[in-house]
Amino acid sequence: MFLLVEACEDSTVLKIIHFVLQLLKAGIVLVPVALIILGMIDFFKAATSNDESKMKQAVPTFTRRIIGSIIIFLVPALISFAFGLLGSDIKEGYLACIANATPEKILQIKKQEEEELAKKNEEYQKQLAEAKKKNEEAYKTEDKKEQNSDTTFAKSKNVKVLMIGNSKIKRENNSNTTKKHLEGLVKGAGRKISITRVTHGGEKLKTWADEKNPYGKKAYDKIKEKKWDVVILQEQTDASINNKNTLVNSGKKLAKAIRKVNPNAKIIFDAIWPYKNSKKSSNQKKIDANNEAAAKEVNGIVAYAGKAFLKYSGIKNAKEVYSSDKNHASNYGWYLQACVFYAAIFNESPETTGYYGNLDKSQAKTMQKIAAQLQL
């Protein structure tokens, strides 16, 4: 039954049934007429021959032809009767099949088939597009790993690092000890590093990305100066929280210039910490998310300095990581940021360096461990 119903919903099958029905309709009329005409011709020949035996032969022949004509005429009814014996469902399916085998119905079903085919093709194309998008994202992820996360430097290499940002990289009063601690960690690991900083207090990344701005020109000149192995980009605190699009677009502009000089440069976005008295947890999430979005656009990575602040501050007997202004870091805070930078740059734990920056050794070790957990 189901096969019959499915077949009768196919335009090609219905065309064949329509053709057979037309032949059958023609046969029902033409064959009986032909048989009757042939019978009449037989009678006429027998009558004109004056042969009694031929007359006797003509009668049964004519009778058989009449019976054949009647049978052919009754073929549709016999078929319907036969289907009826098989069950009412099959009979209804047969009748529906006959009803569908009309030029109008076939055209309608053909149109439906074309619409369904177009819909399936559209869905297939959508699936292809989604698969292509997933593949592209997978390739991007692999590229990111190759260019950044898995980038390793030989111990003998003097890694050239450029830092662009504000006072959370370098303060005018030189109280920011991140550079000193990073150099100490690198030396302790038996490595080499050369750090150059382009900074201005409170400056936003969009200023550094603007070539027409004096500070921006300074940044681009420094980018073009040499083939930097690593470039760290740091956004201003409020802008990190509230201006995602500006951070992303500025990062893209600077990354384009950086990669023009060195296509394999590792670009790191410094996800800094919010103000101490602010909603630290929610603001930190915004800072991290916005920097992650910027890093994703340029196949870069994020240095989770702010998240490290938050995690370290939650442990028992933690040292104060904020300075008295509740914005910048204390010496412990700068050391923690340096540990995060080390893990991000070299893709290895600062725990192997043996450098503690004249700080409480147990606290320094805890900070090294937190940096490794967040970055590796």
* One domain, residues 301 and 361: yes
As a residue count, the chain comes to 376
Q: Tell me, yes or no, whether 341 and 238 share the same domain.
A: yes
Residues 318, 193 within the same domain = yes
Q: What is the C-alpha separation between 190 and 185, in angstroms, rounded?
A: 9
Please give the pLDDT value at position 84. 61
pLDDT given for residue 124 in this prediction: 85
3-state secondary structure of 165: strand
Distance of alpha carbon 274 from its chain centroid, rounded?
A: 33
Where do we find the tokens 């009826």?
A: 84
CA pair distance 292, 8, nearest whole angstrom: 58
* Sign of torsion over alpha carbons 68, 69, 70, 75: positive
Per-residue pLDDT of the chain (376 residues; tens, 9 = 90+): 444 455 566 777 777 777 777 777 776 667 767 767 777 776 677 667 766 676 666 667 767 777 777 777 676 666 666 656 655 555 566 666 766 667 777 777 778 878 888 888 888 888 888 888 777 666 544 444 444 445 678 889 999 999 999 999 888 777 788 999 999 999 999 999 999 999 998 999 999 999 999 999 999 999 999 999 999 999 999 999 999 999 999 999 999 999 999 999 999 999 999 998 878 889 999 999 999 999 999 999 999 999 999 999 999 999 999 999 999 999 999 999 999 999 999 999 999 999 999 999 999 999 999 999 999 9
Domain extent for 54: 2-101
Statement to judge: residues 65 and 175 lie in one domain: no
Buried/exposed 218-236: b ≥16 CB within 10 Å, e otherwise: ebbebbeeeebbbbbbbbb
Given this model, what pLDDT does residue 1 score?
44
Tell me, yes or no, whether 244 lies in a domain. yes
Is residue 131 in a domain?
A: no
Domain of residue 246, CATH code: 3.40.50.1110
> Are 328 and 175 a contacting pair, CB within 8 Å?
yes
What confidence tens digit (pLDDT) does each residue in 214-250 have? 999 999 999 999 999 999 999 999 999 999 999 999 9
Same-domain check for residues 185 and 91 = no
Q: Is 330 helix (H, G, I), strand (E, B) or coil?
A: coil
CA distances for 352 relative to 165, 189, 296, 307, angstroms: 28, 7, 29, 22
Same domain, 203 and 352: yes
135 located within any domain:
no
Q: In whole angstroms, what is the distance from residue 176 CA to residue 93 CA?
A: 87
List pLDDT tens digits, range 13-38: 777 777 777 777 776 667 767 767 77
Q: According to the model, what pLDDT value does residue 2 have?
A: 42
Number of domains present in the structure of the chain: 2
In this prediction, residue 109 carries a pLDDT of 74
Verify that 328 and 200 share a domain, yes or no.
yes
Residue 97 sits in the same domain as residue 211: no
The answer to whether residue 132 is domain-embedded is: no
| Same-domain pairing of 31 and 91 | yes
Q: Determine the pLDDT at residue 79.
A: 66
**DSSP assignments along 182-246, one per residue:** HHHHHHHTT-EEEEEEEE-TT--HHHHT-TTSHHHHHHHHHHHHS--SEEEEE--HHHHHH-HHH
Same domain for 189 and 90 = no
CA distance 183 to 187: 6
**CB-based contacts of 360, cutoff 8 Å, min separation 6:** 319
Q: Can you tell me whether residue 312 is helix, strand or coil?
A: helix
| CA–CA separation, 277 and 280 (whole Å) | 7
DSSP 3-state helix, strand, coil percentages of the chain (rounded to 5)? 65, 10, 25
Residues in contact with 78: Cβ distance below 8 Å, sequence separation at least 6, in sequence order: 71
Containing 253, the helix (H) or strand (E) segment is helix 244-261
Q: Is residue 110 part of a domain?
A: no
Residue 130 has what pLDDT?
85
Residue 175 lies in a domain: yes
